[in-house]
Amino acid sequence: MTAPLLSVRDLSKSFPIQAGLFGRSKLAVHAVDRVSFDLRAGQTLGVVGESGCGKSTTGRCILRLIEPTGGSVTFDGKDVRALDGAGQQALRRDMQIIFQDPFASLNPRMTIGAIIAEAMTIHGLGRDAADRRVRVAALLDRVGLKPEHMRRYPHEFSGGQRQRVGIARALAVEPKLIICDEPVSALDVSVQAQVVNLLKDLQDDLGLAYMFIAHDLSVVENVSDRIAVMYLGRVVEIADASALYAGPQHPYTEALLSAIPVPEPGRHKVRRKLSGELPNPINPPTGCHFHSRCPIRKLPLCATERPEMKPCGQGHMVACHMRG
């Protein structure tokens, strides 16, 4: 088996909170807590969890848009955290991101053509400005827009069209990996399907790898090869998509799956409701972060010892004292 394109090991990120008489840092939000996974070329890893679980922070730490607190990130054999400024800029060609809000991520004072061509200019792609315009026109056509749109501004487009512009911008430098940070959560359901299908077609044509971040398991079902489920900064389960949907092992994953609406009229399924509220990330529960809401917890074990990832099937890992 080939080596992973992206390998993340024990990635951590904490945000100190200024408190106290002299503004000293006394507390911290542990947004990402020892996250590990692999992603192979041409595959999609879905990362799913409630808002605030650390999904987007993980993606930004991989790109070093946010500097990690600890752990390692290896991309295509390179130690991402050890790269200097020049090395980091070179890596930007291979690792791109599509943001959640397609309007906020586009400069309102620049035309669509200038936005997409900007990255080409930075990385020295294209022989000259005319050649870059030809490339921009081809990219717009590839994402379902018209070449003449390059003269328009972001406010002249719908949300779905703006997200297509974001996709074209990410493709402009011919990357190997794109981190899709909830790219369809701000779109209508019908537009969501169109954007997801576009991403799948581009992956098939270009061999792209995706890290697809979402808060809804139904969104990543048809786009992901593997899925990692996060809760309060930790990965609690990771498996091939088919295995995870057929036999979830962690009780949190079971609850997320049970919340997916059933499209067939008259068909019902058991809803696994979680008790309590999402804990405060500044002061999360000890031991297993999920134990305060878990229906199968065993005390005091779950409240005192952190569960480590263990195999529960081929390529299927779960962090739960009661499973695996």
When computed from its CA atoms, the radius of gyration of the chain, rounded to whole angstroms, is 21
* pLDDT for res 275: 76
**Token digits for 265?**
């009229």
The reply to whether omega before 261 is within 30° of 0 (cis) is: no
Q: How far is the C-alpha of 168 from the C-alpha of 27, rounded, in Å?
A: 41
Handedness of CA 294, 296, 300, 306 (dihedral sign): negative
* pLDDT for res 271: 65
Given a contact cutoff of 8 angstroms between Cβ atoms, the answer to whether 319 and 234 are in contact is: yes
Q: How far is the C-alpha of 57 from the C-alpha of 64, rounded, in Å?
A: 10
* pLDDT for res 264: 59
**Token digits for 73?**
């990130």
Q: In sequence order, which residues have a C-beta less than 8 Å from that of residue 247 and are 6 or more positions away?
A: 313
**Token digits for 272?**
């696994």
Number of Cβ atoms within 10 Å of the Cβ of 308: 11
Q: Which residues pair with 35 in a beta bridge?
A: 11
Domain range summary for the chain, segments of one domain joined by + = 6-94+178-318, 103-174
**Token digits for 248?**
């979830």
3 state SS for 84-123: CHHHHHHHHCCEEEECCCCCCCCCCCCCHHHHHHHHHHHC
Given a contact cutoff of 8 angstroms between Cβ atoms, the answer to whether 8 and 71 are in contact is: yes
* pLDDT for res 83: 93
Report the top-level CATH class of 6-94+178-318: alpha beta
Given a contact cutoff of 8 angstroms between Cβ atoms, the answer to whether 318 and 306 are in contact is: no
Given a contact cutoff of 8 angstroms between Cβ atoms, the answer to whether 31 and 14 are in contact is: yes
Distance set, CA 167 to CA 15, 105, 299 (Å): 30, 11, 47
Given a contact cutoff of 8 angstroms between Cβ atoms, the answer to whether 251 and 318 are in contact is: no
Residue 6 main-chain phi, psi, to 5 deg: -125, 130
Query: What's the number of CA atoms in the CB half-sphere (13 Å) around residue 6?
Result: 27
Residues in the chain: 324
Q: How far is the C-alpha of 91 from the C-alpha of 80, rounded, in Å?
A: 8
**Token digits for 38?**
């692999």
Measure the CA dihedral 177/36/46/252, to 10°. -170
169 membership: H or E segment, kind and range: helix 159-171
The DSSP code for 183 is T
Q: How far is the C-alpha of 154 from the C-alpha of 173, rounded, in Å?
A: 20
Question: Could you tell me the maximum CA-CA distance found in the chain, to the nearest angstrom?
Answer: 68
Q: Which residues pair with 15 in a beta bridge?
A: 29
pLDDT tens across the length of the chain (324 residues):
688 999 999 999 999 887 666 666 678 899 999 999 999 999 999 999 988 899 999 999 999 999 999 999 999 999 999 999 888 988 889 999 999 888 888 999 999 999 999 999 999 998 999 999 999 999 999 999 999 999 999 999 999 999 999 999 999 999 999 999 999 987 888 889 899 999 999 999 999 999 999 988 888 888 999 999 999 999 999 999 999 999 999 999 999 998 877 665 555 566 677 777 888 888 899 999 999 999 999 999 999 999 999 999 899 999 999 987
